[in-house]
Amino acid sequence: MEKLHGECATDSHIKEECGVFGMYDFSGADVATSIYYGLYALQHRGQESCGIAVSETNGPKGKVTTYKDMGLLNEAFKPEILDAMKGDIGVGHVRYSTAGSSTRENAQPLVLNYVKGILGLAHNGNLINAPELREELAYTGAIFQTTIDSEVIAYHIARERLNSKSVEEAVGRAMKKIKGAYSLIVMSPRKLIGARDPFGFRPLCIGKRDQAYVLASETCALDTIGAQFVRDVEPGEIVTISPEKGIESDKSMCIPKEKHARCIFEYIYFARPDSILDGVSVYHSRIMAGKYLAMDSPVEADIVTGVPESGNCAAMGYAMQSGIPYNTAFVKNAYVGRTFIKPKQKSRESSVQIKLNPIKEVVQGKRVIMIDDSIVRGTTSDRIVRMLREAGATEVHVRISSPPFLWPCYFGTDVPAREQLIAYNRSIEEIRQIIGADSLGYLRIDRLSQIADGLEICKGCFTGDYPMTPPTEDIRGEFEK
């Protein structure tokens, strides 16, 4: 799947969401290292920046130790940095910029010092009314340090706290103002709070390890630190974690299940396959997507292969259903990060080929079914098809484990304006010709709810039918640069 930002369009995947992780250890033990490893499990959700903020609940009032930097966790955090981060409560974040530029100032978590103490916040998602809220705050004297939605949310929580009995009440009041996709983790001096937007666009779950409670984007992060899964935070729910009362729940913002709109791309691509989101196995969803592709778009071939990593599970599902052998036809260079130096246009090196290379003896003389999770602009797909042909494949049949992208996303996924989408105003046959495949098949739209095991989902980027009215102007910051 292709990345969508201008010069980065040759990259092999679109950009992910963000990952959030919070922890409160009632025994008083330091949590920074556990947060680091929890975020490590969520690194696939964002590689642009990362950060951790911790506080000692019985320490000096208002003291928060924060460290943020650009790049990957293992690049940003050294052992000595983590050792110096003392605190039994904390929040962490890995970021990909859905709105707001990729700079150190925009790294999370955000920490506010205000009249009621401290507030640390990590946010995954995208607000559709952020510009209006930002303007409203600016005209009442707010001074912004960043260009991200998360600061707007933090300000509103801080303002509502002045007239609320508790931080969780302030979060609830702020939620009545903000619109869009958000999973939040808020750290106050003695409480850890998790909140999820009423539609449930982004995942958020609760875990427990000994005397510590955890909030995380995905269950794989709980597994990594040895925490037990407790439950998911429900769409619209606010959970408050404290030593005195354990887990408290406020469901005043919850809406009927029929209106929920979980992002289907969590199941198709974003989440790690070993995660379980809202009771549904991501691995199973991708296997089923492949099986449905085999049922609905069969073709005679010798092998089935996936474009690593996101196409692999669906390819296995296709092979299971069709009886055509699954084989690994690509080697992915695991040491190429998202920020590697891209070849100059005049040089022969292809950034796709630097990251991905076909195994000639697997594909030579074979009819190949190639499974990927999506086609955005088509530039990457056409290069991968060409690579297979150059490696000796006699036929290349492309199958995509999602429907064609026809509309932009306003809720945290960087699907761009319609004019930039290869499927816009083109038939599947025209797309097939552009990418150079022998045949092309997409997942049917009616299969989406089936791969999500019947959960209510958002299909806006495929149908244009959004769960809430989209903004009249493009609010996605750098998307159109």
Domain ranges of the chain: 6-260, 280-480
Mean local confidence (pLDDT), 372-376: 93
How far apart, in whole angstroms, are the C-alpha atoms of residue 28 and residue 445?
A: 49
CB 156 within 8 A of CB 191: no
Q: Which CATH class is domain 6-260?
A: alpha beta
Mean local confidence (pLDDT), 6-10: 30
CB 302 within 8 A of CB 368: yes
User: By percentage, how much of the chain surpasses pLDDT 70?
Assistant: 90
User: CB within 8 A of 212, min separation 6: which ones?
Assistant: 23, 24, 25, 26, 27, 29, 31, 34, 227
Catalytic option among 8, 18, 205, 254:
18
How far apart, in whole angstroms, are the C-alpha atoms of residue 399 and residue 318?
A: 9
How far apart, in whole angstroms, are the C-alpha atoms of residue 135 and residue 49?
A: 26
User: CB within 8 A of 354, min separation 6: which ones?
Assistant: 333, 336, 340, 343
User: Coil, strand, or helix at residue 133?
Assistant: helix
pTM: predicted TM-score of the whole model, two decimal places: 0.90
User: Coil, strand, or helix at residue 335?
Assistant: coil
Q: Do domains 6-260 and 280-480 have the same CATH topology?
A: no
How far apart, in whole angstroms, are the C-alpha atoms of residue 92 and residue 110?
A: 10
pLDDT band at 378, cuts 50/70/90? confident
Q: Identify the CATH number of the domain defined by range 280-480.
A: 3.40.50.2020
pLDDT band at 9, cuts 50/70/90? very low
Tokens representing 200 are: 């449930």
Residue 481 pLDDT greater than 50, yes or no = no
pLDDT band at 349, cuts 50/70/90? low
Mean local confidence (pLDDT), 186-205: 96
Whether 18 is catalytic: yes
